Chain A
């Protein structure tokens, strides 16, 4: 079934990941995306760390597709934050080298200064 779709839909020609079937809905139920009424899974995306911890989730209704750029941003941020445990990636963070935040009492009310380098609050620019 997945094979027929993948072979016939040109948009999927570059797909290299495993396409799994959750016929009993056990996994979609565990992740809270199973629509019990229709038996279908909502458009849910989850990032799971190597230790098995869910670090992000995004769930869209059937009629809205997901933005892969944002998914890749989140994945990159998670990989970065695994190495830099005391930092945080703000909304505009896209890749290594972009400014990050070190949450602290001094930063309260000073996020703008930290991000834009006009204050004394530490912002880490790599």
Chain B
């Protein structure tokens, strides 16, 4: 098993299928594109839908 990332390290790029509530359509989250756009990312994990945050 690979070591989990630590604060201060660079994250590996990843892309995930997502739902965009504003567009009301499916979308893709792509960390590489966030970097190109110069944007910060808040990555927020939760165990399952229908639970609190």
Which chain A residues have a beta carbon within 8 Å of chain B's beta carbons? 1-6, 9, 12, 15-22, 26-33, 35, 38, 40-57, 62, 65-66, 71, 75, 78-79
Contact = CB atoms under 8 A, between A and B. Distances in A.
Contact of B14 (A17, A30, A32, A35): A30
Given A9-B50, A18-B29, A46-B43, A30 B17 contact: no
Interface size range on B against A: 35 or more
Main SS class of interface, B: loop
Contacts of A21: 16-18
Interface string B1-45: 110111111111110111111100001010100110111111111
Chain A interface, DSSP helix/strand/loop, else mixed: mixed
Contacts of B17: 20-21
A50 B44 CA distance: 16
Contacts of A30: 2, 4-5, 11-12, 14
Given A45-B43, A47-B42, A52-B35, A5 B22 contact: no
Contact of A31 (B5, B29, B34, B49): B5
A28 B7 contact: no
Contact of B48 (A3, A19, A40, A51): A40
A39 to B, nearest CB: 9
B45 A18 contact: no
Contacts of B21: 3, 6, 12, 15-17, 19
A48 B43 contact: yes
B40 to A, nearest CB: 6
A65 B51 CA distance: 10
A17 B10 CA distance: 23
Given A5-B49, A31-B43, A65-B52, A52 B18 contact: no
